[in-house]
Amino acid sequence: MEDIAAFVKKIENEFDELEKGTLTPQTNYREIENWSSMHALIIIALIDSEFDVLLNGDDLKETQTIQDLFNLVQSKTNNG
């Protein structure tokens, strides 16, 4: 598993309208401007393709920050 900085960059790259370097591990990703359910699906697809971890809506509801998301993916990677 990569480090949190690389994870943040991957998330950031999925948001075309977002200026690079604006997200941090502490960013509440749901508060990103123009956040929508489409972005949630994009993040789920990104994590599936990059890390082979399948998240669902309930998994996302349990997280708020990018760090939370990273920790969740890491736990599923380590346990799976």
Domain residue ranges in the chain: 4-79
pTM for this structure?
0.89
Q: Report the b/e string of 45-68 with b at 16+ CB within 10 A.
A: ebbeeebebebeeebbeebebbbb
CATH 1.10.1200.10 corresponds to the domain 4-79 = yes
* Spatial contact of 12 and 18, defined as CB atoms under 8 Å apart: yes
Residue-wise pLDDT tens digits, 12-67? 998 888 888 999 999 999 998 889 999 999 999 999 999 999 999 899 999 999 99
